[in-house]
Chains A and B, each alone.
Chain A
Amino acid sequence: MSIAKFLVRRTLQAVFVVWGVVTIMFGLRAVSPGDPATLMLGEGATAETIARVRAQEGLDEPIYVQYLDYVQGLLIGDFGYSWRSNREVEAMVIERIPATLELAIAATVVALVIAIPLGVVSATRRNEPADYGATLFSLLGISTPNFWLGLMLILLFGVWLGIFPTGRRPVGLVEAIWTLVAFGSAGDLLTWLQHITLPALTLGTYFTALITRLTRSGMVDELGKPYVTATRAKGLPAVLVRYKHVLRNTMIPILTVLGLQMGTLMGGAVITETVFNWPGLGLRLIDALDARDWPLMQGIIVFIAVAFVTINVFVDALYSSLDPRVNDE
């Protein structure tokens, strides 16, 4: 199957998945307790007003009409209005993307920078102290709940050592870079770095551990393959063998797993943002849940689903270009 055809098929599947998520969310909202008009209007609204708002918002229409309206809205980028703040949901989602993106990228960078060398060292020095250390670290990493890790980091670096702030995001990365470029002041960038350090470590630890394990096991497999032995025999420096060929072949499963783990990353972001009061999508989702602001909640979840499947389509594309043997399923 050609790559183009594969991608078309994959994209169609992705569209189907997004439709599924939209439908499930709509279904959940429909069966959720509480009258939407009452939730929308808040305490103290009269029965009269509620009735009028029900009519106005189309809540008296049959459920399939409401569903079609909702889907139709989504197609033109209209996610509806937040019941609580009366703002457009899409705007409320978009303005929170940078914070979550910064956090996710910082965590991934932390993970890659630590994990790949660690995995390589671990695989090439099997059963030596370095390998045991790396194994222990990765075991701890995948077994530690990240909210607890966050609190322990706060306790250690925030409370006892007083090195890092324990919450909030006073400045965004783009703004910080802008101050640096426009005024030559690195203060904002420093502030940003200080504030993102603990959240990024918190979110990144699990992935660091996971990728360390993957790199190690992948490398061990590859190093045992005939081509490595053969290259060695030809006299190429061992280091070159390790990094170039072996790592490249090891990257394929890592990429796949990373794509699949985007969901875990988002879940982790919700928790991390809560622990550190980091104003991203996750924190907004929790706020929306607390206020039972369904349109906002739906909007955020649909957005996350779209992001998830898009990333996975990209991962698949990357995968297929890295590994020509790719097949569907």
Chain B
Amino acid sequence: MISDRITSNLRRTFRESLLPKIGMVLLVSIVLMAVFAPLLATHDPTRTGYYDEGGNAYPPIGTEYTTQIAVDGEIQEVEVTADSAHVLGTNNVGQDVYSRFVYGARISLLVGFSATLMAMLVGVPIGLIAGYYGGRVDDALMRVADTMLAFPALVLALALIGVFGESPVYVPDPIVSLGLADGMPESIPIPGTVTIVAALVIWVWFARVARGEALSLRNEEYVKAAKSFGTTDRDVLIGHVLPNSVTPIIVLATIQVAVIILLEASLAYLGFSGTTLSWGYEIERGQDILRTRPWVSTLPGIGIVLTVIAVNLLGDWFRDALDPNLDEGQRGA
């Protein structure tokens, strides 16, 4: 499975280059932030109404802005100053931007990892079987794969959401239920359809890679030998073909996590994810108030960029160390 050669390759590449280190530090920080969100957040991220006395959102600490409000029918210009309780300010409904930033990491990572896992669980077996048996099964799979790839991922996602609705899934928060974080939401909504759709969109890539591996392995001597000793196809697939496919699949999975995080953000931005606690939605929310309150859109965008960079850096690292043959074409979505 993961041989000594691979681990030593991974170690060597990690030592030699700065980029994997940056990626590792970034991703670990973001994962920690997501896991301990209820402890790190200063306010309930869904609580509205943190405004100054004039009903204006707070700017981030160290900044101020002017805006115009109507008081008894007259337009007045007001100066709004920061509040030390809200480090990164508040948004247009008076929610704490920092707390939402922290919680946003949860949604991005949860959707990114769970959709990739689902796609892997569906795509890899199908690909292995198709590649191993070849013939009609294989032809059928390739045609299905081509068809799936002919839909731009975003367009397919939009069509499916149009049919199935958004269906948010409320996931209980273990930290809050243990009573460790008072006043934080007991559950957070994960965009259900978006997760399924993301998996549907990318499983084909896994199927293709697994198929390629199976195709090249089935004529290997040791596989033929195993078969001649009466090993069943199932055992050959699980015992020999699958372990050999692990590395390219890991590399692919890393890239796809990045792709999914971007897809989730896009769908949330377009308003099709059904949840508002998401970096993508936060950017949409800030679009209308870009001129006066640019921090609302800016910060969650930085969150997405950093997360995707972290995942991409690790992906590059895996690829360099494990499988230099995968190309950028796998970055499809």
Q: List residues of A whose CB falls within 8 A of some B CB.
A: 13, 16-18, 20-21, 24-25, 28, 31-33, 135, 139-140, 142-145, 147-148, 151-152, 154-155, 159, 210, 213-214, 253, 256-257, 260-261, 263-267, 270-271, 274-275, 285-286, 289, 292, 297, 301, 304-305, 308-309, 329
Evaluate contact between B154 and A271: CB separation under 8 angstroms.
yes
Pick from A18, A32, A308: contact of B162, CB under 8 Å: A32
Chain B 153-169, CB within 8 Å of chain A: the 1/0 string? 11100111011010000
- A16–B149 Cα distance when bound, in Å, is 13
Q: List residues of B whose CB falls within 8 A of some A CB.
A: 19, 142-144, 146-147, 149-155, 158-160, 162-163, 165, 258, 262, 265-266, 269-270, 280, 283, 286-287, 290-291, 294, 297-298, 301, 304-305, 308-309, 312-313, 327-329, 331-333
- A260–B283 Cα distance when bound, in Å, is 29
Residues of B within 8 A of A155 (CB): 290, 294, 297-298
What 8 A-B pairs have minimum CB-CB distances, sorted nearest first? Answer: A20-B147, A267-B154, A148-B301, A143-B308, A267-B152, A263-B152, A266-B152, A32-B163
Residues of B within 8 A of A17 (CB): 143, 146-147, 150
B265 to chain A: closest residue by CB: A145
B279 to chain A, nearest CB (A): 9
Evaluate contact between A285 and B158: CB separation under 8 angstroms.
yes
- A232–B266 Cα distance when bound, in Å, is 48
- A148–B279 Cα distance when bound, in Å, is 10
B163 to chain A: closest residue by CB: A32
Pick from B297, B304, B329, B332: contact of A151, CB under 8 Å: B297
- A167–B331 Cα distance when bound, in Å, is 30
Contacts A17-B146, A147-B266, A148-B283 given; does A263 touch B151 at CB 8 Å? yes
Contacts A267-B333, A292-B162, A329-B142 given; does A210 touch B297 at CB 8 Å? no
Contacts A32-B162, A147-B283, A261-B332 given; does A140 touch B146 at CB 8 Å? no
A135 to chain B: closest residue by CB: B19
Residues of B within 8 A of A32 (CB): 162-163
- A17–B150 Cα distance when bound, in Å, is 7
Residues of A within 8 A of B160 (CB): 28
Evaluate contact between B297 and A266: CB separation under 8 angstroms.
no
A-B CB contact pairs (8 Å), 13 listed: A16-B147, A17-B143, A17-B146, A32-B162, A139-B309, A145-B269, A151-B297, A152-B301, A155-B298, A260-B329, A267-B154, A271-B269, A305-B150
